[in-house]
Structure 1
Amino acid sequence: MTNAAITTQAPVKEVLDLKKLAAADNYYLVTPTTTYPELEPFKHVDVGHRADPKKASLYDNAEKIFDLTPNVGTEIHGIQLSKLTNQQKDDLALLIAERGVVFFKKQDINIVQGEDLGRHYGPLHIHNIGGHPPNHPYVLPIYSVDVEKSAYYPKIVRASEGWHTDVSYELQPPGFTFLKIDTLPSTGGDTLWSSSYAAYDKLSPALQKFFEGLEVVHSGKEQAEGAVNAGIPQRRQNVLHTHPLVRTHPVTGLKALYIQPGFARSIVGLSKRESDTILNFLYEHLAGGYDFQVRFKWEEDTVAVWDNRVTSHCAIFDYLGSGKRHGWRITTQAERPYFDPNSKSRAEVLLAQARSKK
């Protein structure tokens, strides 16, 4: 059975109010022993190809749309994700691909509507070890209270070690992730996103050329082993794949640095010392790239939608022990990462546009 067959099964229409359950301290997550066939290759056609370059369906109907930083992050007011037209969904795909992450506040979307919206963009991903609401395996809750009770307590030394792109170890890793945060502590719990377009642009031309010929092993084995040791079932075994260090986005045609410490493990063809040296350099490059990051302070019932192909993100776990943080996410699969030697960098495109206006 292919992954596409799994994700097109008739959706369960029971609408659970996860926010209400979390507010009542009802720890509703289940981790059934269900296993699934390994994910098989499928042809992905990004709906962003159908978008209006001006994205008029969004800009003409929103109360306001504005960029949070020059390189990454856009906020939209006055549009409900639960009520998007097909044209708005397509235009949103292009906007996310261009800006990396888009934020929507005061959203009423529920998990069933979230699943339906996600299917517009590709097959829904079932997390390999994460718990989910009953009968909703495509929904991955974010449920953190304190160190002892947190479902995803990060056993990391520094927050910067938490940079990642969602499940990049899959054969065809995610395109979009939709994350709704509906419950927040009194302070803390921000999230950082980094532009992989700009991260590539900030490298010297010599390093850019060198990196374009490299491939990186991405692994989910460590994540799975930790879960199994904790008594949580592993749903699939095939969690190690190789992807290019620099990838091309299929809609924008732009180069993006595809690397992060969460799941990247080694560079193919290099010695361990060489690989570790380069990876550590890139991890510091990512964590220290304040000029191509956005730090978002959540408000309750806000949804962030990001493109995993051209961003990394890092949750700030500074609130554990001081309040509850709850939400849920839907993740869609996309194409297998590839590098097109004819693709351009974002900096090249912006420079050409500036010259054409003179």
Structure 2
Amino acid sequence: MAPQTRTETQTQTEEVTTQTGRLNLVGGGEGPQYPQYLPSVDHTTFPDWEEIPYVDAGTRGTPDKRHLFLPGSTHKPLTPRIGEEIRGVQISQLSKEGLDDLALLAAERGVLVFRGQDFKDIGPERQLDTVRHFGRLHIHPTMPYPEGLPEMHVVYKDPASTANAIKPNETQSISSVVWHADHTAERQPPGITFFFALEVPSAGGDTLFVSATEAYKLLSDGYKERLEGLKIVHDNTSMIEYAKSRGAPARFNPSKHAHPLIRTHPATGAKIVAAIGAGEGNGQPRYIEGFKREESEATLRLLNDVLQRSGDIQARATYEPGTVVVWDNRVVGHTPVHDFEGERRHFIRIAAMAEKPF
């Protein structure tokens, strides 16, 4: 198993340990443009998630995406195998049928980069309602959220802040890259995820994505057969216990579930390698059920080599004012890139929980 690294969650949790209410985020200079979305520390606890019926919005999408690709809009691939950049479409104005088409396209392409959006200015109620179209909204177990808005996860870095995310010179690794998929230890992990920019640095602060469906296609038929039917145990206990040890919020009990190592997407039927970040000290996928430790580690190391080192199934999402990135958390893994200094980066993530993996 690779050495333990300090994750973005651990570092940010560490820096908000003893604070309550609105964090001390503003030093000298110009303050945040969207103060209503600043993180606050709230120790409210919630009942553990119960399984509920789920119908994927993408199953209602149209093959030609006619309700999404409206007249006057343009779209182009980020790369041949993953991602799509879309202009001339306002997410805030889409019909329910348009949102269904969006879900299907996200399932097919993994990550969608929408430019020129007014989404950041339509207010929290409409923002949450839009993502609620895709499922029950997730609440982060440990991280700060805007006051009174637990379904929003704040991603915030400010040179004047006492609650910055991880910085390259603070990590115990050479690189700040930490590949993962979000909250895979939940009984029904997130699917469609919105990540919208409030303030972006002049350069850098991008997000890398990798396609877990394309990774599956790279494997030999014989290896696919060997992986079929295996289950991988996902566990967020270390994240919950770490937050408790620092006096930070721990809103749920630890969650531990065995999910298929090769899962199937309900809208596309595509096979997915559901192991991104496994066994590296930073991901919630921990080990293959029924395998001996060495067998599990070797298998997960190989699969993560495929996911993390195959540049031809990866894409880089860049940000500009008005950018909204939508990804299907079942289909792609991602990592932030902390390569900027001296500028504010302020984003909000809203994630809809999907089906119990099969």
Structure-2-length-normalised TM-score: 0.84
What is aligned with 1:136?
Answer: 149
What is the distance in 2 between the residues matched to 1:272 and 1:57? Answer: 49
What is the distance in 2 between the residues matched to 1:67 and 1:195? Answer: 14
Is structure 2 residue 263 aligned with structure 1 residue 247? Answer: yes
Indicate how the Cα distance of structure 1 residues 27 and 331 shifts in structure 2: closer, same or farther if over 3 A, else same.
closer
Contact 2:176 2:338 in 1 (8 A): no
Q: What amino acid is aligned across from residue 178 of structure 1 in structure 2?
A: F
2:342 to 322, 334, 341: 322
Pairing of 1:17-96 with structure 2 (within 5 A): 22-23=32-33, 28-96=38-106
Q: What amino acid is aligned across from residue 39 of structure 1 in structure 2?
A: W
- Aligned Cα RMSD in Å? 2.2
What is aligned with 2:6?
Answer: none
2:127 to 99, 103, 114: 114
Structure 1 residue 73, shift from structure 2 partner: 0.4
Fraction of identical pairs, as percent? 38
Contact 1:21 1:27 in 2 (8 A): no
What is the distance in 2 between the residues matched to 1:336 and 1:24? Answer: 35
2:293 to 257, 268, 272: 272
What is the distance in 2 between the residues matched to 1:198 and 1:309? Answer: 12
What is aligned with 2:232?
Answer: 216
Contact 1:181 1:326 in 2 (8 A): yes
What is aligned with 1:282?
Answer: 303
Indicate how the Cα distance of structure 1 residues 209 and 106 shifts in structure 2: closer, same or farther if over 3 A, else same.
same
Gaps of 5+ in 1: 1-17, 339-358
Indicate how the Cα distance of structure 1 residues 160 and 21 shifts in structure 2: closer, same or farther if over 3 A, else same.
closer
Structure 1 residue 26, shift from structure 2 partner: 8.8
What is the distance in 1 between the residues matched to 2:187 and 2:334? Answer: 20
What is the distance in 2 between the residues matched to 1:73 and 1:259? Answer: 20
Q: What amino acid is aligned across from residue 114 of structure 2 in structure 1?
A: F
Pairing of 1:227-242 with structure 2 (within 5 A): 227-242=243-258
Residue deviations 1:157-211 (CA, integer Å, cap 9, x gap): 2547611111111000011110002212232111111111110011121211111
What is the distance in 2 between the residues matched to 1:215 and 1:295? Answer: 30
Indicate how the Cα distance of structure 1 residues 147 and 129 shifts in structure 2: closer, same or farther if over 3 A, else same.
farther
Contact 1:184 1:299 in 2 (8 A): yes
Indicate how the Cα distance of structure 1 residues 102 and 37 shifts in structure 2: closer, same or farther if over 3 A, else same.
same
What is the distance in 2 between the residues matched to 1:27 and 1:82? Answer: 19
What is the distance in 2 between the residues matched to 1:197 and 1:64? Answer: 25
Residue deviations 1:35-63 (CA, integer Å, cap 9, x gap): 11110011101121211221112223352
Structure 1 residue 226, shift from structure 2 partner: 2.2
Structure 1 residue 24, shift from structure 2 partner: 7.9
Gaps of 5+ in 2: 1-24, 278-282
What is the distance in 1 between the residues matched to 2:34 and 2:150? Answer: 22
What is the distance in 2 between the residues matched to 1:199 and 1:274? Answer: 20
Q: Which stretch of the first structure deviates more once superposed, 230-239 or 169-178? A: 230-239
Structure-1-length-normalised TM-score: 0.84
